[in-house]
Amino acid sequence: MMEILPIKSLTDQDSLIFGQLSVALGKLARADFPVGNGIVVSAPEFKLKTILEHFNFDKKEVFEQSLSLVKKELASIPVPEILQEETGHHKKFFLNKEVFKSTKDLWQKLLNVWLEEVKTRIWQDGFYPGITQNLSSQVVIFIKKIESQGVVFFDPLQWDSVINIKFGKLHPNDLKKLDNIVRLANKKLFIPHEYEWTYDHGIKLVGLKPYTPVTPAYSSQTRFVPGRQTGTVKPRSTVKVFLDLSSGMVIEKDVDGIYIDSGKILDLDKPRDSFDHLIFRIVEASLAFHPSPILVKLSDKSEGMGKIRGALRLIHQKSLLNPLIDALDFVRHKKGLMNVHIGIPFIRNVSELIKIKRELAVKKLMRKNSLQIWMEASLPENILNLEDYLTAGLDGIILNLDELISYLNGFDNTQQELTSYKNEVKGLLKFLEDSLKLLHKSKIPFIALGSLNLYPEVLEYLIEKGVYGLILEKYETQGVHELLHQAEKRLILRSNPRG
């Protein structure tokens, strides 16, 4: 039986009949986005099944002949009464980038769309009893006069909207409006989409498609073609590069993972907007870099050196912890983005780590093959009692070098006039020696965070001790692979001078 609903009436309960994309379009319409007025039509499954069963699709030599007969029989089917009622007072319809001027022509196009989908299934899997089940629902938009049409999507790699105009033109003001619409729509739906649009007395969204971002890919080899100049091979290193996307969304392709400090995004003065922004940031990063790891650090709201912050504040301030847990629960369990992992900030003792892990476990965010929990080591206490923390259960350590050196050297690293003390790194490196041996022995990876990462003395020390990765800002990632490659090369030559 064919079912029809207005776009604006679609809710999550209708997704089994009309599909997630149509429901998402309905969600935008109810949120007052400029969605075209129209209906969503499900396929007449039983009617199609009855007709198809009369024909032979088992032999390829008679396949096209049978298909032609099916088309003729479908053409004789009168327009369903329910479709006539829903479209009767409208004169023009927009479906699959085409305009139709009668309900009869619209009906024939719908049948052809579903028949093509059945044809594809037959070619792939042969004819089977349930071949007409779950055919795609179709969005039909009521129109007056379409002046232009196209698609738009937001490209996180360029941090800009890409607007493709299929025909017609758009005024610069409308281009700007379309850019704003796609950004807000992605936030509303939490997952980026490609949006079909028309200009019919204003911008109208008329369809959605999944947006598949370009996944970063690396090549360690260069093909040599005689007579052509060989391309330049980007140097690679064993040390992973994690891009810090806590602020801004400018994405660098040549990275191995993403680090997001939720404390720089979640704002308790704007809980709803910042919560949505946090989820959008995580989802964008997860999709753009899948399957690379996305490490999300829980919020570390600090009021100054020695004040309540980090894990202790999360434990006692539910208004800060609960939104973070809800965001991670939504991203991993509702959206199925399993490359998102958790970092726990500024822990003063093992009991705080256990309490935070218990809070996460309530929402089933516990350690497993698909979920890693990392601890940020910011205090000398963390390093001295590292074995106890590892016993409590961790998948990795984030060494906050800036915080560690500030406590060891006795200065506030947020004060510009005291940053010269950061140059005194010998004590820090000596202090880390035994703990890094323990991590190596325990086969627990560690990542370095902070402005000290690229100090030559610190970088060579980290590489020598087997650092898993570095968390870097966007401006620091330019040329970092060459820097790491050269540092690793010097280390190898130093350890094997005759090699």
Cα Rg of the chain (Å, integer): 29
Give the Cα separation of 274 and 269 in Å (integer). Answer: 9
106 Cβ neighbours under 8 A, 6+ residues apart? 83, 87, 93, 95, 100, 140
- Give mean pLDDT in consecutive 10-residue pieces for the chain, a chain of 499 residues: 84 84 90 90 77 57 58 76 85 87 87 79 66 81 90 77 84 86 88 89 89 50 34 68 81 83 91 90 88 95 74 93 95 92 96 96 92 96 96 96 92 70 87 95 95 90 94 83 85 68
Output the DSSP codes for 305-374.
TTSS-HHHHHHH-HHHHHHHHHHHHIIIIIS--TTEEEEE----SHHHHHHHHHHHHHTT---BTTB-EE
| Predicted local confidence at residue 121, as pLDDT | 72
| Predicted local confidence at residue 288, as pLDDT | 85
Q: What are the contacts of 184-188 at 24+ separation with CB within 8 A?
A: 184/33, 185/28, 185/33, 186/154, 186/280, 186/284, 187/276, 187/277, 187/280, 188/27, 188/28, 188/31, 188/33
Sheet holding 160-167, edge to edge: 160-167, 148-155, 193-199, 203-210
pLDDT digit string (tens) for 109-164? Answer: 888 887 877 777 766 666 667 666 778 888 999 988 889 999 998 877 666 788 88
| Predicted local confidence at residue 192, as pLDDT | 85
Q: What are the contacts of 464-470 at 24+ separation with CB within 8 A?
A: 464/491, 465/432, 465/436, 465/440, 466/436, 466/440, 467/239, 468/239, 468/240, 468/396, 469/239, 469/240, 469/241, 469/242, 469/256, 469/257, 469/445, 470/239, 470/240, 470/241, 470/242
| 218: its two tokens | 């690396």
Could you give the angle at the alpha carbon of 191 between the alpha carbons of 244 and 201, nearest 5°? 120
The pTM for the full model equals: 0.62
426 Cβ neighbours under 8 A, 6+ residues apart? none
| Predicted local confidence at residue 221, as pLDDT | 35
How long a stretch of residues is the chain? 499
Cα separations in angstroms, 100 against 49, 95, 103, 104, 461:
26, 8, 8, 9, 69
